[in-house]
């Protein structure tokens, strides 16, 4: 027997507190999901102030500075101990290099060859970082991914080797866990900011004008496992001061699920006949769904975390950490923010 579904997104308040957009900045996107949300966000962040690629060196001291004033290099940073080396802005700018720690250059986390070095993508700070020249060279234009057997590893643990992620087996680069979410949210930004151009881009992570299935699943997992950090918040604000646009998936991490999640873009069916709400961790349902209907709670990646059944149109939910959840029951799709 085919089981019909009702999906509910429950967003914790902690996911809404990031960033400092000006009042009303995201108003055109509020209440939307799926393609309408992505399109609205494109309209908000499009036409940013673009600079020449050579000018990026002068912006890094405000967008990518460590608390000690050194260069914040995601390929050499060591969150759990001493860094293998540190770079000084300007002084250690590449240049010639042969070993790790020689100098830093400008890393396109989304390689130029994938978008033909077109303007303004080629100088968009949201996907360009100051990174060690040697590590950048080992990464080259490889996709990001999950490495199985390691062919090469940097001093901070950035790896290169064959992918063991479902759906892709070619060579990939895997950054350390601390920056997987940062890079994922940068890719979600690119898919939105350059939505009209993406169909002309070519790489193993894109198909049909957006991220393909394996890349979406990978980046969704990285986004969930590495939440927005203060570093990202500060960088988002600093880039906004330069480009006059923001990465909406840093300000509103829940929008990743709204655009790329398992129920993205599915609107309510016969919503006028159904009311659904959460109060004191109890899910309430009023409508044409019989008592005893199965309720299943999944995380943002679609993995089942709990199930139960309605009794007298209510069911007590388990204690959940702040985040994005999906509740399945009945045959309709509704969303709300708790």
pLDDT at 40: 97
- Residue 267: pLDDT band with limits 50, 70, 90: very low
More confident residue, 306 or 233: 233
**Where do we find the tokens 């957006």?**
210
Instruction: Please give the angle made by the CA atoms of 301, 236 and 38, to the nearest 5 degrees.
Output: 50
Q: How confident is the model at residue 1 (pLDDT cuts 50, 70, 90)?
A: very low
* Average pLDDT of the residues of the chain: 85
Q: What is the pLDDT of residue 45?
A: 98
pLDDT of 333: 41
For the segment 170-181, the average pLDDT, to the nearest whole number, is 98
Q: Strand runs (DSSP E) across 255-313, as ranges?
A: 275-279, 282-286, 294-299, 304-309
Q: What is the pLDDT of residue 187?
A: 98
Two tokens, residue 26: 């995201």
Query: 20 falls in which pLDDT band (50, 70, 90)?
Result: confident
256 within 8 A of 188, measured Cβ to Cβ: yes
> Given this model, what pLDDT does residue 307 score?
75
Work out the pLDDT band at 134, boundaries 50, 70, 90: very high
Q: Can you tell me whether residue 324 is helix, strand or coil?
A: strand
Q: What angle do CA 219, 331, 216 make, to 5 degrees?
A: 10
Of the candidate ranges 88-92, 189-193, 245-249, 292-296, the one whose mean pLDDT is the lowest: 292-296
Could you tell me which of 97, 96, 111, 107 has the C-alpha nearest to residue 73? 107
Work out the angle at residue 254's Cα, subtended by the Cα atoms of residues 144 and 112, and round it to the nearest 5 degrees: 30
Average pLDDT over residues 248-257: 93
Average pLDDT, integer, range 39-60: 97
- Please list the residues that pair with 286 across neighbouring strands: 275
Q: For the purposes of burial, counting CB atoms within 10 Å of the CB of 215, is it exposed (0-12), middle (13-18) or buried (19 or more)? A: buried
Question: Beta partners for 279?
Answer: 282
* Residue partners of 97: CB distance under 8 A and separation at least 6: 103, 133, 134
CA distances from 141 to 108, 115, 144, 172, 258 (A): 9, 11, 9, 9, 29
Q: Do 149 and 171 form a contact (C-beta atoms < 8 A)?
A: no
pLDDT mean over 15-33: 77
Sheet-wide strand order for 282-286: 275-279, 282-286, 314-316
- The residue behind tokens 């690629």 is 53
Q: Is the model's pLDDT at 148 over the cut of 80?
A: yes
Q: Label residue 290 by pLDDT band (50, 70, 90).
A: low
Give the count of beta carbons closer than 10 Å to the beta carbon of residue 32.
17
Q: Is the pLDDT of residue 176 over 50?
A: yes
204, 143 Cβ separation under 8 angstroms: yes
Rounded distance between C-alpha atoms, residue 260 and residue 97, angstroms = 40
Res. 303 pLDDT band, cuts 50 70 90: low
**8 A C-beta contact, residue 295 and residue 310:** yes
Q: How confident is the model at residue 293 (pLDDT cuts 50, 70, 90)?
A: low
Q: What is the dihedral of CA 30, 319, 301, 209, to 10 degrees?
A: 0
- pTM reported for the whole predicted model: 0.77
């Amino acid at each position: 027997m085919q089981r019909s579904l009702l999906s509910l997104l429950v967003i914790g308040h902690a996911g809404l507190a990031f960033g400092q957009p000006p009042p009303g900045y995201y108003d055109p996107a509020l209440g939307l999901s799926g393609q309408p949300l992505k399109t609205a966000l494109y309209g908000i962040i499009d036409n940013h102030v673009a600079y020449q690629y050579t000018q990026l060196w002068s912006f890094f001291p405000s967008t990518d500075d460590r608390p000690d004033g050194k260069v914040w290099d995601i390929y050499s940073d060591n969150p759990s101990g001493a860094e293998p080396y540190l770079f000084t802005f300007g002084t250690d700018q590449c240049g010639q290099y042969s070993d790790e720690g020689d100098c830093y250059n400008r890393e396109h986390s989304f390689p130029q060859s994938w978008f033909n070095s077109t303007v303004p993508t080629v100088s968009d700070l949201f996907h360009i970082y100051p990174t060690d020249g040697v590590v950048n060279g080992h990464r080259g234009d490889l996709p990001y991914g999950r490495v199985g057997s390691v062919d090469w590893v940097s001093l901070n643990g950035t790896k290169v080797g064959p992918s063991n992620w479902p759906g892709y087996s070619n060579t990939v680069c895997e950054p350390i866990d601390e920056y997987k979410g940062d890079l994922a949210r940068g890719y979600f930004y690119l898919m939105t900011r350059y939505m009209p151009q993406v169909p002309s881009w070519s790489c193993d992570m894109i198909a049909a004008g957006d991220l393909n299935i394996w890349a979406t699943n990978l980046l969704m997992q990285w986004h969930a496992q590495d939440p927005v950090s203060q570093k990202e918040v500060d960088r988002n604000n600093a880039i906004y001061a330069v480009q006059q646009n923001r990465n909406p998936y840093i300000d509103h991490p829940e929008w990743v699920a709204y655009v790329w999640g398992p129920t993205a873009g599915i609107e309510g069916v016969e919503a006028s006949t159904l009311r659904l709400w959460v109060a004191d961790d109890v899910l309430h349902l009023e409508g044409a769904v019989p008592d005893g209907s199965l309720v299943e709670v999944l995380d943002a990646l679609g993995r089942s975390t709990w199930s139960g059944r309605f009794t007298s149109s209510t069911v007590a939910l388990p204690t959940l950490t702040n985040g994005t959840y999906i509740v399945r029951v009945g045959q309709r799709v509704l969303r709300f923010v708790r």
